[in-house]
Amino acid sequence: MAAETMIMKQPTKRATRPALVTNLLRTVRQQQLFVPGQHLLVAVSGGPDSIALLSLLYRMVRSWQLKLTVVHCNYGLRGAESDGDESFVKAFCRERDLPLIVHRPLLVKRRQRSSLQATARDARYDFMKQLAQEIGADHIAVGHTANDQAETVLMWLMRGAGLAGLAGMRYVREDRIIRPLLAATREEVEGYLDHEGLTYRRDSSNEKPLYRRNRIRMELLPVILGLAPAAVRVLQRQADVLGEDERYLAGVTTELAGVLVRQCPGGEQRVDRQSFLGLPVALQRRLVRQILRTYDQEERASSLQVVESVRSLFLKGKSGAWLRLKQALVRLDRTSVEFSPRRDPDHGPGAGSGPEQRETLPLLVPSTVYWARTNQQIHVQLMSRRAAETLGRDPSKRQVSFDAALFSAPLLVRTWQAGDRFVPYGMKGKSKKLQDYFTDCKVSRQERDRVPLLVAPEGILWVVGMRQDERFMVRSETAHCVVVSVSDRASEKE
């Protein structure tokens, strides 16, 4: 029998106004979330946070002359429990004569590696933004609390995020989303519900340790609270402070881009190399990230690894060097770096004739990248020659060493291209077309498009797992080595 998901409360009303009411009013005014007379679309799942939010806004309807419309999304993922949530929200709204719109979205993954939770979130927000436009709502109110903010900050911290990630969720987003409860703790929310005797639902999926956020809430956060009881409030305040810093620096970066980035026909953008090199590293990263964001359909920020590969092109690349990133092509000439949208794989540098689209991954030193075509991880590190020698030789050809002084950054992992040549170890310095090498090794045409190549501006270093280029191998005078290894990645359950 499924566990009961409805939490019943008895009213414990006192003469004093609940603290959460004061908290919400202060947040609305300080963050300028909305003003009297506006129309709010309120997202309500039936859980404690959204029920508290709707109850608080309902209290303000008369004094603030607010118009409220409630929206509930039923994904049907929890069967009867999901339908129970919908029925509960319908009853809650009916008692208060509030208009309710129920949406049952069809979940379709946008990205190959996105989770079910992320897919559901995307569908919910897409629908709410469309609905707000249709009904003329000024804002979309959601029930995130300070505890949600603390969990978000910890998640981004573990991913190695920068300032934007550590700033967590914003009180106000550009797409009408507002978070009136973001400064309120979950304890304050539950205290309000107790005070008002309000009933709410519990989502059983929030108790499952399958998702990282759930594990942070159930396992990590309790340990942190044991060490620092005020941790939720501290993390929430930290996010507020970092958010202000992030918005200031974002403004500085936008102004900088207006001066340094020259817009060209065809979506190309050019940056003067010397002007870029004169910037502090922090602004270099921000400028690169802002430019690359303009080429992403969903305007997502690029990872530090991608940003650093572009910076490396500015810093160390030679004229004519290029990077083919997932969202853009980056080329270096003598005085500037050009960013342009990705074209058809048959055009521009890196074009090939194979049946599959060519793929390129930037590779920092040290780092690890995942090559999906062979389900392998490629790991690179810099070490002294003596340290590298302690690793020994790998007869399976899954680990190789190169003289770090014989090539420059940026390093790439990519598929083969028509015209590729290298000097295979054992060929006594003779150059060979990679296509002929594949033919000699009886590598089929289909298989060739899966084989990763490790490439520097000076040429191919390694046909991964097969043969090194003799020009870049360790010599007697070698002082430092770049050691590269490849390993199969075990399949992971999403």
pLDDT digits (tens, 9 = 90+) for 284-301: 999 999 999 999 887 888
What's the confidence (pLDDT) of residue 111? 55
- List beta partners, residue 400: 484
This prediction has a pTM of 0.70
pLDDT band for 493, please (50, 70, 90 cuts): very low
**Burial (CB count within 10 angstroms: exposed 0-12, middle 13-18, buried 19+), residue 100:** middle
Nearest residue to 85 (alpha-carbon basis) of 72, 98, 94, 95: 72
| pLDDT surpassing 70 at residue 353 | no
Would you state the structure tokens that stand for residue 120, as one six-digit string? 């559901």
Question: Distance of CA 379 to CAs 326, 369, 480, Å?
Answer: 20, 7, 17
- Ranges of each domain in the chain: 6-246, 264-341, 360-488
User: DSSP class of residue 241?
Assistant: H
Angle at alpha carbon of residue 168, lines to 164 and 172, rounded to 5°: 95
Could you read off the pLDDT of 100-151 as tens digits, one per residue? 999 988 766 555 545 677 788 888 999 999 999 999 999 999 999 999 999 9
Question: Distance of CA 50 to CAs 53, 72, 179, Å?
Answer: 5, 10, 11
Q: Write the CATH number of the domain with boundaries 360-488.
A: 3.50.40.10
Question: Distance of CA 126 to CAs 144, 170, 213, 282, 324, Å?
Answer: 18, 18, 22, 33, 31
Provide CB contacts within 8 A for 304, sequence distance 6+. 160, 162, 285
74's enclosing H/E stretch is none
User: DSSP class of residue 176?
Assistant: S
Q: How many helices (H) and strands (E) does the chain have?
A: 16, 23
What's the confidence (pLDDT) of residue 110? 56
* Cis amide prior to 410 (ω within 30 degrees): yes
Question: Distance of CA 372 to CAs 108, 202, 357, 378, 381, Å?
Answer: 22, 38, 13, 11, 21
SS3 222: helix
| Mean per-residue pLDDT over the chain, rounded | 88
- Other CB atoms within a 10 A radius of the CB of residue 31 amount to 17
What's the confidence (pLDDT) of residue 1? 39
Higher per-residue confidence, 355 vs 39: 39
**How much of the chain exceeds pLDDT 90, in percent?**
61
**Burial (CB count within 10 angstroms: exposed 0-12, middle 13-18, buried 19+), residue 130:** exposed
In this structure, are residues 43 and 143 in contact, taking their beta carbons and an 8 Å threshold? yes
What's the confidence (pLDDT) of residue 109? 56
Rounded distance between C-alpha atoms, residue 448 and residue 435, angstroms:
9
In this structure, are residues 313 and 321 in contact, taking their beta carbons and an 8 Å threshold? yes
Name the CA radius of gyration of the chain, rounded: 28
What's the confidence (pLDDT) of residue 8? 63
Residue 465 identity (one-letter amino acid): G
Could you read off the pLDDT of 179-225 as tens digits, one per residue? 999 999 999 999 999 999 999 999 888 887 777 888 999 999 999 99
- Measure CA of the first residue to CA of the last residue in the chain; give whole Å: 27
Superfamily grouping for domain 6-246? HUPs (3.40.50.620)
**Within this chain, domains 6-246 and 360-488 share the same CATH topology:** no
Angle at alpha carbon of residue 313, lines to 450 and 382, rounded to 5°: 70
pLDDT band for 230, please (50, 70, 90 cuts): very high
Rounded distance between C-alpha atoms, residue 166 and residue 120, angstroms:
23
What's the confidence (pLDDT) of residue 290? 95
Name the CATH code of domain 264-341 (choices 1.20.950.20, 1.10.3720.10, 1.10.10.10, 1.20.59.20). 1.20.59.20
What's the confidence (pLDDT) of residue 4? 47
